[in-house]
Amino acid sequence: MLKKILLILLLFFFWSCSDFKQEPSAQNESHKPRELSKSSTTLSPKEKNRISLSEKDQIQSKNHPGKLVKKKTRVIYSQPQISPQVPSKPYTDSLFLNKLKQLKLEDAEIDLSEPLSRSFLFSGPGELKKAEFITLSRERFLKINFDNDILDNTDRYYTNGIRIDIISPFLKPFPLNYLMIPYWGKGVNYYGISIVQNMYTPSTTKIGGILYGDRPYAAYLYLGTFKISNDPTKRFRQSTELNIGIIGPSSYGGFIQKSFHAAVPTNNEPLGWLYQIQNDLVLNYNLCYEKGIVSGKYIELNLTGKSAIGTLYTNFGGGLMVRSGLFNPYFVNLGISRSQSNHQKSLRNMQVYFFLDIEGKVVGYDATLEGGMFNHRSVYTLRNQDISRFVFDGCLGVTLNLGGFRFDIGQYILSPEFYHGLWHYWVHTGLTFTM
């Protein structure tokens, strides 16, 4: 009985397979064009439905002999398959990578705070005619400048000043540096901070009370931040500085001068600091441009332009500086560099030269003479019409530079700053160290 059932199942299986194989051939034949005979009208409705469009075209061409009938083809529209959104891979800018490689080959750290540097790094091909960007100097300096008129045997007017500068690439993120004017040439940026204290007295400090018609006592103290953009190719230098501090007794100028005079037995105590210019805000913005004109082996000539605007000084002017001796080009760096760097760049490690710096300026406002801009309670100041609106100053000196050490000394001369004032002289000394 079991054998009969299995035999029936096998027969059924083979029959169904043979029927499945015949179905596609029938379908394929149904799609082949064929001529219709006269008995085509007797075709069943099912067979009529199997006539393709090409067969209908043939029927029309036979019914209309001599008429060209364009065959129609069946166009099957399928639903487009929408593939899921695949996030594209991050675009790799080969130009950007090439620029980074160029900076690496030049061993340069680009200063992205400058618009020109950002344009170079992120622009496409052809947007810049040549590769121009500004790098950040890795050099670090400590500069100490000291002015005093004691060597000229005077004690008047600008009687003492000290300025300490620190230059380092670590000072670049200082927030106030974003207020510095950008530079639009290929160069090197130096960032620094400074602390400055200056003191001013009348023509004599041995007489008490107010000396009318003379310079008032004044002193100020401020903290500055600055950026120096040096362009050796164009022999150009741009310096921008922002100063914030105070003028008046809180600057401790009177206290320091009294302490210094008390420490020297031959000096008399200054008697007029009680009448100094009173406390007020110091907020100043200074700008300086230097341009090389003559650059010889033993002589250089540079032009300078300066301006200042603020509550301490408002003026503008210009001048020239001449150097003569054994020196490295003025715009190759800031005048000092380590011995190793000098050897690598084929620069002089030892420099000895004389310099002459001459400048004239137009004075708009001077708080050390006229008093603070906001506090008008100072006991004594000079009138506006008593101020000299054009002032001349000059310095003749010598510089000694050996590797990472530099020493400057110069004699300054200043024309009268007010009506019936005197010419003034003081000695400037400066020490600079690489760190």
pLDDT in tens, 215-245: 999 999 999 999 999 999 999 999 999 999 9
Length of the chain measured in residues: 435
pLDDT score for 136: 93
pLDDT score for 296: 94
d(C-alpha 40, C-alpha 327), whole Å:
113
Q: What is the pLDDT of residues 345-398, one digit of tens each?
A: 899 999 999 999 999 999 999 999 999 999 999 999 999 999 999 999 999 999
Q: Which amino acid is at 199?
A: M
d(C-alpha 431, C-alpha 435), whole Å:
13
Which domains are seen in the chain, by residue range?
Answer: 93-136 (no CATH), 137-434 (2.40.128.140)
Low-confidence ranges of the chain (pLDDT < 50): 19-41, 46, 48, 51-57, 59-62, 67-70, 72, 77, 86-92, 128
- pTM for the complete prediction? 0.76
